[in-house]
Amino acid sequence: MESLLPATGDVMDLSGVVAVDKPTGLTSRQIVDKVAKIVRPAKAGHAGTLDPLATGVLVVAIGCATRLISYIQQGRKRYIGRFELGKRSDTDDSEGQIRDGGDWSGITRDQLDEAIAEFIGVIHQVPPQFSAVHVDGQRAYALARRGQTVDLQARPVEVFSVRVTQFAPPEFELELECGSGTYVRSIGRDLGEQLGCGAIMTSLRRLTVGPFSVENAVPYDNLDVATLRAALQPPVQAIADLPRRNVDDNEAKALRQGKVIGLGPVPFPESANEAALIDLDNRLIGVARIEAALQRLQPHIIFPVKK
């Protein structure tokens, strides 16, 4: 297989982020494995799991950019989800053990719109039994597969917007934007409970993760050296929301030695607590914590220097 590495063969030169359009039926791990084969020996990792049922944007970080995965995971996400009233399942979607949920025939669009309004803002949500939440050191889905019912605690998540885009009972479709840790399956489940008839998710498509959009994602079946090279974005895209601080060579050297530097001439937004560090070649060298009271930047994540 043709190598994705530059002519120098330096793995340090292969670092960035690519958005892959995941098809249904595959795990997120399978997507990453395909990317890893292309970029080997550089490492690869995904930012935010998509269930096999789901399709859409799966962001894969490569090389040093894997150190920025947590930032990508914190980005807002936009979805289109389809649901069916009158059913319940142990997975909260159509892939689980499905049972009757109750009579849905009297549910109107107005009732659905009114119920949806309760799911906007910071809400407390119980994750699905089949989820990646850790329970006593194990994933909840691993326990659920062994027939164990886990007492999962409600967690605060944020839903920025949600609207009904189609209503053809018993089916309906939602478009929503939410923060990290939100389970769209749980929104459908809880909405169905509120309506008194149950509901399961039948499909899900992730449209965006932070600045990464499905319109610019590489279809999984088209992934190869050429398409990945063309779609690879610089690591700084992973932290596009952070303010930037340009550093000169002496400051870059100091940061790589673990030393602090001054805040610089351009003031940071009061809400900012971290900054992206950009060198004279307009490359990301890392992330620093803003210590406003001490008028300094403390190195937090610093990439190794290229040789």
For each of the domains in the chain, give its residue range(s) and CATH number, in order of start. 11-75+211-238 (3.30.2350.10), 77-208 (3.30.2350.10), 243-302 (2.30.130.10)
More confident residue, 266 or 80: 80
Q: Give the Å distances, CA to CA, from 232 to 22, 67, 183, 236.
A: 16, 16, 28, 12
Contact 155, 181 (CB under 8 A): yes
Residue 13 designated active-site: no
Among 44-53, 147-156, 165-174, the least confident range: 147-156
In this prediction the pTM is: 0.89
Is the Cα dihedral 276, 157, 174, 201 positive or negative? positive
Compute the average pLDDT of residues 246-259: 95
Residues present in the chain in total? 307
Q: Please check the confidence at residue 303 and state whether its pLDDT lies above 80.
A: yes
The 10 Å Cβ neighbour count of residue 41 is 11
Query: Alpha-carbon distance 218 to 278, whole Å?
Result: 27
Residue 48 — left, alpha, or beta (φ > 0 → left; ψ -120 to 50 → alpha)? left
pLDDT in tens, 37-93: 999 999 999 998 899 999 999 999 999 999 999 999 999 999 999 999 999 999 999
Which residue is catalytic, options 51, 93, 190, 279?
A: 51
pLDDT in tens, 170-209: 999 999 999 999 999 999 999 999 999 999 999 999 999 9
